[in-house]
Amino acid sequence: MRTSVADLVRQRSMLVILIAACTTARTAFEAADNVVDADLRADLNRMIERSEGELERVSAAIKQANG
């Protein structure tokens, strides 16, 4: 089953929001600089990287769908 362009655009929008939220949280935890926050920052970094990869995939799918 193919995903509609509208669904892809929604996915892209959610990924942009997720990346922004994770980046903002990471910045806040970097300022706190304690051991617990180091683990959380690592998790946030992985989430950002994974989401950026997915954002590239979804953006390419939108471009391909639009011809």
- pLDDT at res. 2: 76
- Predicted structure pTM score: 0.87
Q: Name every residue whose Cβ is closer than 8 Å to that of residue 66 and which is 6 or more positions away in sequence.
A: 5
- pLDDT at res. 67: 81
Residues 13, 59 contacting (CB under 8 angstroms): no
- pLDDT at res. 8: 96
What's the rounded Cα separation, in Å, for the pair 49 and 8? 19
